[in-house]
Amino acid sequence: MATSVTTLKRTVGKPLTTAAIAAMKPGQVLSDGAIDTGAGRLKIRKRQTKTGSVSEWLFIYWGSTGKRATMLLNGKASRYSPKVQEGFLTIAEARLLARKLQAGLQTGVDPAAQRELEKASVQKAQATAVAKLHELKKKTLQALMDAYVDSLKAKGKARSAYDVENMVQNHIAKPFPELVSSSATAVTARDVSTILTRLVGPDTATKKGRTALKLRSYMAAAFKLALGAELDPMAPASAIGFDLTMNPAAAVPATKMAAAFHKVGERTLTVDELRNYLIRLELLPSPIHRLALELQIMSGGQRLQQLIRLTHADVTDGAFTLYDPKGKRAQPRAHVLPLLPELRDRIEQLKAINPVSERNAKGNVFASTGGSIINAETLSGVVHGISMAMLKAKESMTPFRGGDIRRTCETMMAGTLGIHKDTRAQLLSHGISGVQDKVYDKSNHMKTKEAALRAWIDYLGAVRHGVEHASNVVPLQAAK
């Protein structure tokens, strides 16, 4: 008896067309016969929605466990469109994507699992980007300048660090609060120029050229520090992560400012001008301003920036110490001066005005009301005010500034008193060069400096009381 054999024929769906898809009814599903069914199938279904209906692509496949799985072909962007448009798939685009998924299946890649991995990777990248953006918001211009201050302190340049803090507070934070709190990456060369224009611009009545030059230098150094911090093992941690690509402060030209304000001065006071200056110092209403400027001139014309950093701890029975941070020293050089009675008198009055206290924990002799050190620019402004008053009273023919007082002191010590230039260098903390001076000579030259200061203070007394020459001196009275 012959056995009847039934052969099962595998039917292949027809390739989908735009017409066939357009004719679909809600709930209907069609397969695309243009796709080989060996590893996954491409289908399209029409689904009813509240506002109508949509056609969306599906990918049907059998996973490694043998179970059938159904997924949207391209996630949220799986809807059908007869024309190419973002967020939709045409027939050709759907087939191309389906073939890629089939190829992955043939190498053992589960499409749904792969999509979850990709989704997690995207989410992680997004979270990283958000965290980085959040961190960058903390990397403000203020934070950048603070990082530079940290680097100076790490090098032992605490006094230079104070100068930077003081300048940032007075010339960036106070006048430009929005800029100082903005991201450092957003700061442009134009912003830096705006900061400096406030100090030296054509509409600025009292120009502060040297301050502008120093501030530009500090800002350029801060940006440079952060730009190289990632690769600098000695950079402070606070300088890392600013994501900078340029140095806007360095892009601001300083040539014209330097030419206008960084000139070697030539102005010195005459004996009569010096006498009137001393008299006007005695009449200053602020005791701190008066004592500071008297101490400056009586100590031979010390730099105000160094003098105002004097603390209680810097004063001993026979001397007081200033610190000279100039140059590329890792540590400021101690500049020790003899404490003559006239100098001691002024310093003791200052210590009484500013005792060590909770407000003045560092024992700053020149502390302001808030406890921080008074600004050297404030004292320069006082000198400028005296100069203008003397000019108005015809006590001088041309104005002068704070640096001219220092120059006057040295000029008169050299020309009138005949004090040797090496002694003046030790007394005024000029650059000490040469192997002998820098390496072998560790003497502080106290006896020489004391003799020079004694002669100078006596000479000031003579000038103050109308006796020009030191051979017939009248000692200066104790400060008020």
CATH of the domain at 319: 1.10.443.10
On whether both 337 and 467 belong to a single domain, the answer is yes
Report the pLDDT value the prediction gives residue 275, as an integer from 0 to 100: 96
Report the pLDDT value the prediction gives residue 467, as an integer from 0 to 100: 84
Q: How confident is the model at residue 329 (pLDDT cuts 50, 70, 90)?
A: low
On whether both 394 and 444 belong to a single domain, the answer is yes
CA–CA dist 308, 406 (Å, integer): 15
Find, among 309, 360, 266, the residue nearest to 157 by Cα: 309
Residue ending a domain, among 97, 129, 161, is: 129
Residue 7 lies in a domain: no
Contact, 156 vs 334, CB < 8 A?
no
On whether both 281 and 412 belong to a single domain, the answer is yes
Residue 5 lies in a domain: no
Segment 220-226 mean pLDDT: 94
On whether both 143 and 186 belong to a single domain, the answer is yes
Q: Give the helix, strand, coil percentages of the chain, each rounded to 5.
A: 50, 10, 40
Number of structural domains the chain divides into? 3
- Secondary structure class of 188 (helix, strand, coil): coil
**Would you give the DSSP letter of residue 51?**
T
Report the pLDDT value the prediction gives residue 126, as an integer from 0 to 100: 64
In 108-195, beta strands by DSSP E: none
Please give the share of the chain, as a percent, with pLDDT higher than 70: 86
Residue 479 lies in a domain: no
Residue ending a domain, among 241, 261, 281, is: 261
Given a cut of 90, is residue 451 above it in pLDDT?
yes
Contact, 40 vs 59, CB < 8 A?
yes
Given a cut of 50, is residue 470 above it in pLDDT?
no
Residue ending a domain, among 129, 156, 179, is: 129
On whether both 177 and 279 belong to a single domain, the answer is no
User: In terms of residue numbers, what domain contains 68?
Assistant: 18-129
Contact, 280 vs 217, CB < 8 A?
no
This prediction's pTM: 0.54
Q: How confident is the model at residue 24 (pLDDT cuts 50, 70, 90)?
A: very high
On whether both 281 and 255 belong to a single domain, the answer is no
